[in-house]
C-alpha cells in the first residue's frame, strides 16, 4: 500500500460521458487511457509519476471491469518490454516512468520495440523530472526520442489538452507503427483541474485473444535481415506517416495574430508560461488572446517541415522557447529554414538561458530582449518591470539570514541509525569510501551525516565501488535500498560482487517499501498484498547468489549495528560481506499504526505510546545528539537557564518514539539528558494501583526534599 491512497479519487474514473471530471493531471491521464480502450498498463514509480502508479494500483478494480491488465513492473526496462505485446497484436498499451533516469533503464527495450514497430498503439508516459524540486541529473528525454525515433508529444499543460493528446497518441502510434512518448512536466502531473469526460472503452481485442490465437511475423523480430529493413521502414514509411497524421489532425497549434514580422515557437508544455509572460508585458489577455503569432509544438519530435516553413516565411525573426539543453529543436528549425533558403533569424538560447528551468520571469526577460531587438513597437505600451520594493541592503540581510533546507530523513526514519552507526564506526577505524545508491538513504550525503562519495544509479551502489577492490587496509562500504536491490542491485550489485570476488561491504537498507517513491510494495515487503507476491526475503536472494558473510540487523539497535559494521570492516574473512539493516519505513508504519492506535484508544483498550524527551536542566547545549541524528523532531529551544546562552535540545511533539536518540545517547555515551516517556492510555486496574503506590512513595520523598529546598528560597521562584 502506498503513501498516498487514491481510493476515493479513482471513483472519478467512472464519471460518465459528458460529465465534468475533476482531479489531478495523472488521474486525468488514467481516465484518458481508459477512454482510449487500453488493454494493458505498466510502469515503475518515481516522481513525478509515482502517483500515476498509485492511481493505477488503486484503480485495479475499475481496470479489471474493463479487462485492463496492470503490472507494477520490476523496473523501467520490464515496463518498456511490456510494449512487445503491441508488436504482433492490435492491443493498445501504456507504460510510465520517471525520466530521464527511467528512460535510461528502459532504453534497451525501447530501442527494440522502436525497431520492430507496433501494430497496436504503444504509449510511453514520461514524467519529466527537470527543474525545481528535481533530484536527478538535468537531461532531456528528447534525446531518447531522437535516437530511437519515437514520436515525442509535449501537450499544453491543461487537462483537456493532456487528455486529448493521450487519445491522439494512440492513433498516431497506430498510424505510423511507432511507439509514442508523452512528456509531462512535474507541475502538469500534479495540476488539479477539470475536463469534460468521454466514455471508457473496453478493448474489442483482448489479451486472452492474443494468447489463444498467437500470430508471429518474422519481419518484426530484431535480427538480420529484418533489423536493416526496420531502419529503412523508419525513415521511408513510419516517419512520413507520422508527419501526415500530425498535419491532418492539427496536433500542433497556431495562436495569436498574423500581425508583424516576428513570431514565437514554443514547446506545448511551456505555452501557459509564455502566455503569462506575455500577459505581464501587456501583450496578451488571461485567455491567451494576443497579436503575436505563436506556433505551439504539441509534438516536439518530429518537426513538421511545412508548418515550420509556413510559420517563418514572412517573419524577420522567431523566438524559439525550448527548455533544457542541447537545443535540439532550435537546431532542426534552423536546418529546415536554411535548407529551404528562408533567412528568418531563429533566436533561442542566444537570448534565453542555455540551462535551467524556464520560469515565467525568465521567459519574460527573454521576450523583452527579443522584442527590444526585433520588434520594439511591442514594448511601447508594456508596463515597467515589477518594482523592487526592497533595497539591496534589505535583500542582502534576508539572504544572509534564510538558511538552506536540504531534504532529510523523516522523523523516526529507520535509516538514520544506520548512518549514525556508520559515523561512530568511522570515529573508531577511520574514514572509509562510501558508495551510495538511489533512495531515501542518499540523504546521508547531506548534513548532519555528510556520508557518501558517489551515486551511480538505482541499484548500482555496490557496482559503483567495484573498481575499489584492491589489496588495502581499509574496505569500502556501499549502500543500497531494498527498492534498488530488486530493481537492479540483485544482479548488477550483488551478483557482480560475488562473481568478481569482492572483499568489500554492502549495507542493504530493508525498510519494506520502495519508500522514496511513495511507499509502494516490492517483493520483500512484509505486508500482504492482494494482487502482488510479497514476503520474499532479501536474505534468501543474497544467499542464493552465493554470499556467505551475511548478517541481518535491526537498524534501531545502534550498538548492534555499529558492532556488525565494524566486524564487516575488520574481519579476516575474505569475500563479499552483506549487512541487511531492517526496520519498517516509519512514514508508512505510522500511516498503518496511527489509525489502529487511535481506534484502540477509542475502544477503551490499554495502549502504551512511547515518546522521547530531553531534560533542559541537564542539557548543556552542545547538540552532539543532533549532529548524530538529524531527526526533524529533535530540535532546539531557548535555554531556560538565564546563565546559559546556548539553546537546549528538545524533542517536539512529532516524536514517534523510535528510540534512536536514546540509542545514540548510549552508543556514543553522549549525556544523561534523554528520557523515554511511556504514556499509558486506558490503564488497567493493576496499572492504576501500582502507579498510585509509586506516586505516594515518590511524592513523599520528593516533598521532603522540597521542604528542605524551601528553606533556601530567593523569593522569585
Q: What is the footprint of another protein within residues 208-267 (CB under 8 A)?
A: none
Closer residue to another protein in complex, CB, 477/634: 634
CB of 11 to another protein, least distance (A): 16
Please report, as residue ranges, which positions from 427 to 456 form the binding site for another protein (by CB under 8 A): 440, 443, 446-448
How do 20-24 and 192-196 pair as beta strands?
Answer: antiparallel
The size of the interface with another protein (CB under 8 A), counted in residues, is 135
List the interface residues with another protein, window 638-697 (CB under 8 A): 638, 642-647, 650, 653, 662, 665-672, 674-681, 683, 687-688, 691, 694, 697
Q: Considering the rule CB under 8 A, would residue 45 count as an interface residue with another protein?
A: no
Shorter beta-carbon distance to another protein: residue 248 or 643 = 643
In whole angstroms, what is the distance from residue 625 CA to residue 428 CA? Answer: 18
Using an 8 Å Cβ cutoff, are 180 and 143 in contact?
no
Q: Which is nearer to another protein, 150 or 163 (CB)?
A: 163
Residue 309 touches another protein, criterion: CB under 8 A:
no
Cβ-based nearer residue to another protein, 341 or 716: 716
In angstroms, how far is CA 22 from the centroid of its own chain?
A: 24
The vertex-70 CA angle with 69 and 72, nearest 5°, equals 150
Q: State which residue, 502 or 629, has the beta carbon closest to another protein.
A: 629
Kindly state the greatest CA–CA separation across the chain: 102
**What is d(CA 375, CA 316) in angstroms, rounded to the nearest whole number?**
9
Closest CA to 481 of 514, 457, 432: 514
Helix (H, G, I), strand (E, B) or coil at 542: helix
What is the DSSP code string of 631-699?
-TTEEEE--S-TT--SPEEEE-TT-----HHHHHHHHTT--TTEEEEEEEES--HHHHHHHHHHHHHHH
| Owner of C-alpha cell 513570431 | 263
Residues 592-621 that bind another protein (CB under 8 A): 611, 613, 615-618, 620-621
Cβ neighbour number for residue 148 with a 10 Å cutoff: 19
Q: Does residue 480 contact residue 418 with C-beta atoms inside 8 Å?
A: no
What is the smallest separation between the CB atom of 570 and another protein, expressed in angstroms?
21
Q: Binding another protein by CB under 8 A: which of 57, 115, 273, 444?
A: 273
| Among positions 184, 277, 318, 579, the unique one binding another protein when judged by CB under 8 A | 277
Are 510 and 555 a contacting pair, CB within 8 Å?
A: no
Alpha carbon distance 418, 441 (integer Å): 9
Site for another protein in 135-154 (CB under 8 A): 135
Report the site for another protein in 533-562 (rule: CB under 8 A).
559
Residue 288 sits in the site that holds another protein (CB under 8 A): yes
Q: How far apart are CA 211 and CA 209, in angstroms?
A: 6
Q: What is the DSSP letter of 174?
A: H
Q: How far is the CB of 227 from another protein (least distance, A)?
A: 39
Q: Residue 280 interacts with another protein (CB under 8 A)?
A: yes
Closest approach of Cβ 272 to another protein, in Å? 5
Would you give the binding string for another protein spanning residues 170-199, x where CB under 8 A is met?
---------------xxxx-xxxx------
Interacting residues with another protein between 377 and 416 (CB under 8 A):
385-387, 389-390, 394-395, 397-411
- Minimum distance between the CB of residue 4 and another protein, rounded to whole angstroms? 9
Q: Give CB contacts under 8 A, 24+ apart, made by 603-607.
A: 604/682, 605/682, 606/680, 606/681, 606/682, 606/683, 606/684, 606/687, 607/680, 607/681, 607/682
Task: Pick out residues in 107-136 that bind another protein (CB under 8 A).
Answer: 129, 132-135
Contact between 710 and another protein per CB under 8 A:
yes
Q: Is the Cβ of residue 396 or residue 472 nearer to another protein in the bound state?
A: 396
Tell me the closest approach of the beta carbon of residue 627 to another protein, in angstroms: 5
Amino acid at each position: 500500500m502506498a503513501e498516498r491512497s487514491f481510493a476515493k479519487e479513482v471513483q472519478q474514473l467512472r464519471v460518465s460521458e459528458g460529465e465534468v471530471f475533476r482531479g489531478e493531471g495523472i488521474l486525468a491521464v488514467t481516465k484518458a487511457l481508459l477512454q482510449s480502450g487500453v488493454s494493458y498498463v505498466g510502469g515503475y514509480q518515481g516522481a513525478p509519476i509515482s502517483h500515476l502508479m498509485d492511481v493505477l494500483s488503486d484503480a485495479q478494480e475499475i481496470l479489471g471491469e474493463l479487462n485492463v491488465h496492470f503490472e507494477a513492473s520490476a523496473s523501467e526496462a520490464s515496463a518498456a518490454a511490456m510494449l512487445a505485446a503491441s508488436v504482433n497484436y492490435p492491443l493498445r498499451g501504456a507504460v510510465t516512468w520517471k525520466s530521464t533516469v527511467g528512460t535510461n533503464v528502459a532504453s534497451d527495450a525501447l530501442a527494440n520495440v522502436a525497431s520492430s514497430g507496433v501494430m497496436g498503439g504503444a504509449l510511453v508516459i514520461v514524467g519529466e523530472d527537470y527543474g525545481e524540486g528535481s533530484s536527478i541529473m538535468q537531461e532531456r528525454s528528447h534525446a531518447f526520442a531522437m535516437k530511437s525515433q519515437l514520436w515525442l508529444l509535449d501537450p499544453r499543460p491543461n487537462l483537456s489538452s493532456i487528455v486529448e493528446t493521450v487519445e491522439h497518441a494512440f492513433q498516431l502510434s497506430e498510424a505510423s507503427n511507432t511507439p509514442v512518448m508523452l512528456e509531462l512536466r512535474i507541475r502538469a502531473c500534479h495540476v488539479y483541474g477539470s475536463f469534460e469526460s468521454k466514455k471508457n472503452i473496453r478493448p474489442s481485442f483482448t489479451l486472452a485473444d492474443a494468447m489463444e490465437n498467437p500470430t508471429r511475423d518474422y519481419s518484426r523480430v530484431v535480427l538480420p535481415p529484418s533489423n536493416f529493413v526496420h531502419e529503412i521502414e523508419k525513415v521511408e514509411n513510419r516517419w512520413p506517416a507520422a508527419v501526415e497524421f500530425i498535419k491532418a489532425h492539427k496536433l500542433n497549434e497556431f495562436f495569436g495574430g498574423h500581425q508583424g514580422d516576428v513570431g514565437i515557437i514554443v514547446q506545448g508544455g511551456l505555452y501557459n508560461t509564455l502566455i503569462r509572460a506575455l500577459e505581464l508585458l501587456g501583450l496578451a489577455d488571461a485567455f491567451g488572446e494576443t497579436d503575436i503569432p505563436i506556433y505551439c509544438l504539441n509534438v516536439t519530435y518530429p518537426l513538421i517541415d511545412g508548418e515550420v516553413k509556413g510559420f517563418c516565411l514572412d517573419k524577420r525573426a522567431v523566438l524559439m522557447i525550448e527548455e533544457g539543453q542541447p537545443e535540439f529543436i532550435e537546431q532542426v528549425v534552423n536546418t529546415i529554414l536554411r535548407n529551404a533558403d528562408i533567412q528568418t533569424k531563429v533566436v533561442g538560447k542566444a537570448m534565453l538561458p542555455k540551462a535551467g528551468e524556464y520560469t515565467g520571469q525568465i521567459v519574460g526577460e527573454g521576450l523583452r530582449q527579443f522584442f527590444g531587438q526585433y520588434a520594439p513597437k511591442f514594448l511601447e505600451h508594456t508596463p515597467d518591470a515589477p518594482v523592487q520594493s526592497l533595497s539591496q541592503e534589505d535583500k542582502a540581510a534576508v539572504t544572509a539570514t534564510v538558511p538552506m533546507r536540504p531534504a532529510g530523513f523523516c522523523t523516526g526514519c529507520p535509516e538514520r541509525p544506520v548512518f549514525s552507526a556508520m559515523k561512530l564506526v568511522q570515529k573508531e577505524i577511520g574514514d572509509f569510501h562510501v558508495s551510495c545508491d538511489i533512495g531515501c538513504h542518499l540523504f546521508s550525503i547531506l548534513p548532519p551525516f555528510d556520508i557518501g562519495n558517489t551515486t551511480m544509479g538505482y541499484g548500482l551502489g555496490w557496482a559503483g565501488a567495484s573498481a575499489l577492490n584492491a589489496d588495502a587496509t581499509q574496505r569500502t562500504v556501499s549502500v543500497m535500498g531494498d527498492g534498488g536491490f530488486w530493481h537492479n542491485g540483485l544482479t548488477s550489485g550483488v551478483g557482480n560482487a560475488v562473481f568478481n570476488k569482492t572483499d568489500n561491504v554492502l549495507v542493504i537498507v530493508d525498510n519494506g517499501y520502495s519508500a522514496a517513491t511513495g511507499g509502494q510494495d516490492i517483493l520483500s515487503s512484509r505486508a500482504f498484498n492482494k494482487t502482488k507476491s510479497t514476503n520474499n526475503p532479501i536474505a534468501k536472494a543474497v544467499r542464493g547468489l552465493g554470499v556467505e558473510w551475511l548478517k541481518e540487523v535491526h537498524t534501531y539497535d545502534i550498538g548492534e549495528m555499529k558492532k556488525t559494521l565494524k566486524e564487516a570492516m575488520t574481519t579476516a574473512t575474505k569475500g563479499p560481506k552483506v549487512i541487511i539493516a531492517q526496520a519498517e519505513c516509519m512514514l508508512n508504519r505510522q500511516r498503518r499504526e496511527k489509525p489502529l492506535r487511535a481506534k484502540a484508544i477509542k475502544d477503551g483498550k490499554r495502549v502504551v505510546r512511547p515518546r522521547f524527551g530531553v531534560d533542559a536542566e541537564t542539557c548543556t547545549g552542545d547538540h552532539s545528539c543532533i549532529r548524530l541524528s538529524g531527526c526533524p523532531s529533535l530540535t532546539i529551544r531557548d535555554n531556560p537557564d538565564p546563565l546559559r546562552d546556548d539553546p537546549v535540545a528538545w524533542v517536539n511533539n512529532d516524536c514517534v518514539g523510535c528510540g534512536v536518540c536514546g540509542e545514540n545517547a548510549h552508543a556514543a555515551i553522549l549525556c544523561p539528558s534523554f528520557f523515554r516517556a511511556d504514556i499509558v492510555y486506558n490503564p488497567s486496574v493493576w496499572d492504576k494501583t501500582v502507579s498510585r503506590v509509586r506516586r505516594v512513595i515518590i511524592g513523599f520523598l520528593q516533598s521532603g526534599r522540597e521542604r528542605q529546598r524551601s528553606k533556601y528560597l530567593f523569593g522569585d521562584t
